[in-house]
């Protein structure tokens, strides 16, 4: 069954008693037992809640995994996965990833004895060289944030199997609608479901999907023990958003392609990052492995003064953090999403004082282009 159909029907079968086509919100902390030593399958909402379970089963189906897990945020999801590792373990990580993930790794989990090496995960040879005897996992972003480099998920998964390490893919930018890393050999996918999956900038959520049932049991033990689970209301909102994932992303990708093509010829844009453009170094690879190129566009302007102008003079675009919603957002990575990364590292990676990032929404594409055009001229 097509992913678009699966997404639209998440939770449809859940309430067999009433036939409700929308899964109910089970807004309860605890569940009554039918008898001594008996359970309905639900005891306490940290351990399991029907609304959350509908979401978890839904994302597992979309990603082709054994089991899904819903968390209070994308960072909570990544945190829970890090409990798979212990003191002395080493992870190889995408170098230009979301700044909050870097902060989690370097400022929090490093104090528990985990070590991290940051490499260009679009370079298979660099990843191979970075793997050590103590390496336990490779953590990659399928499309990096904000420079939109493309990882060869299939080749990296083969390398991970060869080396006996887990392959974890943050697939937030592409979602299972466009890319299914587990089909390409990855072990775990993780999402900030706040973004494209929920899709309306009205809830914060994180999801993870595990391919192997035994590994999934370990992840559930950590989810239940730590308790950073997604509440039933936010689970329902995420399900609601996922039902329209395909139509939203189709429109967003179409808009992104038009905007990227326009920016690519603009005299005040010196560089553009969008894998849908044929000249992008990852274009051919993503065309083979994915169903589309996503709706994120990053670009460098020719001078620093243009940054403030575009952030503050656009009227349809909103100057805001986050991404993936129906509204188009414009972000300044150096001062917002990646501010926690040391400046010398940002400069080396290309996250500089003239880089802007667009999360393209579902508005009329010409309206978005006109808005950017008037801001450039303001």
Positive or negative torsion for Cα 100, 101, 103, 108: positive
Phi/psi of residue 297, nearest 5 degrees:
-135, 125
Local structure of 378: helix, strand or coil: coil
Instruction: Check 46, 128, 258, 309 and give the catalytic one.
Output: 46
CA distances from 192 to 85, 98, 100, 149 (A): 21, 11, 12, 18
Q: How far apart are CA 303 and CA 241, in angstroms?
A: 38
Phi/psi of residue 110, nearest 5 degrees:
-65, -30
Confirm whether 177 is a catalytic residue.
no
Local structure of 260: helix, strand or coil: helix
Tokens at 72, concatenated: 């209070």
CA 364 to chain centre: 25
Instruction: Check 98, 118, 191, 196 and give the catalytic one.
Output: 98
**CB neighbours of 260 closer than 8 A, spacing ≥ 6?**
272, 274, 276, 277, 297
Would you give the DSSP letter of residue 192?
E
Instruction: Check 67, 149, 195, 243 and give the catalytic one.
Output: 195
Instruction: Check 63, 89, 152, 170 and give the catalytic one.
Output: 170
Confirm whether 46 is a catalytic residue.
yes
The CB-based long-range contact list for 300-303 (8 Å cut-off, 24+ gap) reads: 300/269, 300/270, 300/271, 300/272, 300/352, 300/354, 300/355, 300/356, 301/268, 301/269, 301/270, 301/354, 301/356, 302/267, 302/268, 302/269, 302/270, 302/354, 303/268, 303/354
Q: How far apart are CA 372 and CA 367, in angstroms?
A: 9
Confirm whether 103 is a catalytic residue.
no
Phi/psi of residue 170, nearest 5 degrees:
-80, 110
Q: How would DSSP label each residue in 50-82?
A: HHHHHHHHHHHHHHT-SEEEEESSHHHHHHHHH
CA 293 to chain centre: 14
CA distances from 281 to 17, 21, 31, 277 (A): 53, 44, 53, 9
Confirm whether 170 is a catalytic residue.
yes
Give catalytic residue positions.
46, 98, 170, 195
């Amino acid at each position: 069954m097509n992913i678009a159909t699966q997404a639209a029907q998440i939770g449809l079968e859940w309430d067999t008693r009433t036939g409700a086509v929308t899964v109910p919100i089970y807004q309860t902390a605890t569940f009554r037992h039918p008898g001594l030593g008996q359970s309905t399958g639900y005891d306490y909402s940290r351990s399991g809640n029907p609304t959350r379970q509908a979401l978890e089963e839904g994302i597992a189906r979309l990603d082709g995994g054994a089991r899904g897990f819903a968390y209070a945020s994308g960072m909570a999801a990544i945190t829970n996965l890090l409990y798979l590792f212990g003191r002395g373990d080493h992870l190889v990580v995408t170098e230009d990833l979301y700044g909050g993930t870097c902060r989690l790794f370097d400022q929090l989990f490093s104090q528990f004895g985990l070590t991290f090496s940051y490499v260009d995960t679009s370079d298979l040879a660099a990843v191979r060289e970075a793997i050590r005897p103590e390496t336990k996992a490779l953590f990659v972003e399928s499309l990096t944030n904000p420079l939109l480099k493309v990882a060869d998920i299939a080749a990296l998964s083969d390398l991970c199997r060869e080396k006996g390490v887990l392959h974890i893919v943050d697939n937030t930018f592409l979602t299972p609608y466009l890319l299914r890393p587990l089909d390409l050999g990855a072990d775990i996918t993780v999402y900030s479901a706040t973004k494209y999956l929920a899709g309306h900038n009205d809830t914060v959520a994180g999801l993870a999907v595990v391919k192997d049932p035994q590994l999934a049991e370990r992840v559930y033990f950590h989810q239940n023990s730590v308790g950073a689970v997604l509440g039933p209301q936010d689970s329902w909102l995420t399900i609601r958003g996922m039902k329209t994932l395909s139509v939203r992303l189709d429109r967003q990708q179409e808009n992104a392609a038009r905007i990227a093509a326009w920016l690519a010829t603009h005299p005040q844009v010196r560089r553009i990052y969008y894998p849908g453009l044929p000249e992008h170094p990852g274009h051919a690879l993503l065309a083979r492995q994915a169903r589309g190129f996503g709706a994120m566009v990053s670009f460098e302007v020719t001078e620093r003064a243009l940054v403030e102008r575009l952030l503050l003079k656009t009227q349809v675009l909103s100057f805001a953090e986050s991404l993936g919603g129906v509204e188009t957002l414009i972000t300044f990575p150096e001062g917002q999403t990646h501010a926690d990364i040391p400046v010398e590292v940002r400069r080396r990676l290309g996250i500089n004082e003239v880089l802007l990032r667009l999360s393209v929404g579902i508005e009329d594409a010409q309206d978005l282009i006109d808005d950017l055009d008037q801001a450039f001229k303001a």
